[in-house]
Amino acid sequence: MIEVFKEAVNQFSSPVAIFTTGILLLALFVALPALMTSPLVAGAIGLLTVAFFIFGYFDPHFGEMVARPDNIPIVGLIFIFGFFTWYAMRKAVLNDALIAAGKPPKEKEESEEKVMVFPYLIYIEFVVALLYAAGLVFWSLLIKAPLEDPANPALSPNPSKAPWYFLGLQEMLVYFDPWLAGVLFPTIIIVGLCAIPYIDNDPKTSGYYCFRQRRWGITAFLGGFWLLWILLILMGTFLRGPNWNFFGPFEEWNLHKVVPLVNVNLSEYFYLKWLGIGLPKNWFLRELPGFTGLAAYFWVIPTLLEKTVFKKLQERMGTARYHILILLALLMLALPIKMYLRWAFNLKYLVAIPEFFFNI
């Protein structure tokens, strides 16, 4: 019985199945926030997760993964982030109900007084920082730091995993050229996060939790944070094994597991498979389909949206801010799109110019 369950979980565990499940869960969460954050449903989800980890702990392979000193923060992260996501959404849902009934949000009832950041907020943060520092000291006393041998360029451990907070980036490297996944995307993530207060400078809803008035912003945040960061870290931690192959949570890490990953560039699909002529010699001609696709994605889509559905938005935000917003949104969406293209069509690169080390 237990074996059957484990086997079923292993069978289900593929990057595409897990990522799709994540998207569906998120969609459910933002479509029915009141139901999903109700103590009953949220509690059930929390308990099921705990039960899964307790059950998994007794599996020799999964148990070792969970108890590893490197991985303890990740197990903690699931529950901490899960709790705080629930906490904020719960408050937002309750406020939404109040607002819908024509009443002011709860925070307004609690206190109307304005307080200064300094010293009130800083003081709280300082105390929390002290507690965290003390906690870290105890942690480091209890658990030995998982240090490995000195670095050796001639030896890459198998699997070679980045520190846990970078595993999302490492997962991205599977789908993108190092220049994009390692340099461009991290930069854009940081710049994009910094840009949020300038893109959305609407003061309404500040000072209290709410969801309905901020539906798109919160959904985009949850998607970016939970799917494109946390979920990738979880997959990288628990499900990536030797040779960066994908393993089920209860599957032994077999060094010789063979997963065919033969990938094909868009140019090869276009010229060899669809047109049936050889690849053009000239790199520009060869990569023209990819360039066209990218131009359509980054140029035609925003222009079309600007003329149609986002007309109001564009007027309200102004051209510059609108275009920055759309560009950031498209870049963010490009990540899952490329991942799905890889899973569905083994697509390697849309534009591949090894001559210049330029691949997209």
Partner 1 sequence: MITWLGFAWTVFAAATVAALSTTLRFMFPNVLFEPKTSFKIGSPDTYELGKVDTRWEDKYGVWIIRSPEGIYALSTVCTHLGCKPSWMDSEQKFKCPCHGSGFYKSGINFEGPAPRPLERFSISLADDGQILVDKSKKFQYEKGEWSNPLSLLAV
Please list every residue from 242 through 271 that binds partner 1, using CB under 8 A: 242-245, 255-256, 258, 260-263
Q: In this complex, which beta carbon is closest to partner 1, that of residue 6 or of residue 338?
A: 338
The binding track of 30-59 with respect to partner 1, each residue x by CB under 8 A or -, is ------------------------------
Minimum CB separation of residue 359 from partner 1 in Å reads: 5
Hunting for tokens 């939404």 — which residue is that?
A: 96
- What contacts 282, CB < 8 A, 6 or more positions away? none
How far lies 1's CA from each of 6, 7, 158, in Å?
A: 9, 10, 33
- Rounded distance, CA 61 to CA 73, Å? 18
Nearest residue (CB) to partner 1, 180 versus 332: 180
Q: Does 282 bind partner 1 (CB under 8 A)?
A: no
Question: One symbol per residue from 101 to 140: x for binding partner 1 (CB under 8 A), - otherwise; what is it?
Answer: ----------------------------------------
User: Closest CB to partner 1 among 95 and 237?
Assistant: 237
Find the binder of partner 1 among 40, 142, 156, 203 (CB under 8 A). Answer: 156
Encoded one letter per residue, x for contact with partner 1 by CB under 8 A and - for no contact, window 171-210 reads --xxxxxx---x----------------------------
Size of the site for partner 1 (CB under 8 A): 34
158 binds partner 1 (CB under 8 A): yes
Among 38-46, 128-136, 272-280, 344-352, the segment contacting partner 1 (CB under 8 A): 344-352
Residue number, 314 or 359, with CB nearest to partner 1: 359
How many CA atoms lie within 13 Å of 290's alpha carbon, on the beta-carbon side? 23
Coil, strand or helix at 104: coil
- Distance, C-alpha 305 to centroid of its chain: 25
In whole angstroms, how close is the CB of 113 to partner 1 at the nearest point?
37
Name every residue whose Cβ is closer than 8 Å to that of residue 169 and which is 6 or more positions away in sequence: 162, 181, 182, 185, 186
Contacts of 150 (CB under 8 A, 6+ apart): none
Cα-Cα-Cα-Cα torsion 336, 11, 345, 343, nearest 10 degrees, comes to 20
Cα distances (angstroms) measured from residue 325 to each of 188, 251, 306, 333: 12, 42, 12, 12
Question: Alpha-carbon dihedral of residues 49, 51, 53, 58, nearest 10 degrees?
Answer: -160
Please say which residue, 140 or 158, places its beta carbon nearer to partner 1.
158
Q: Are 159 and 241 in contact (CB under 8 A)?
A: yes
**Smallest distance from the beta carbon of 158 to partner 1, in angstroms?**
4
The answer to whether residue 287 forms part of the interface with partner 1 (CB under 8 A) is: no
Minimum distance from CB of 53 to partner 1 (Å)? Answer: 27
Paired tokens of 144: 């030995």
Interface residues toward partner 1, by CB under 8 A: 153-160, 170, 173-178, 182, 242-245, 255-256, 258, 260-263, 348-349, 352, 354-355, 357, 359
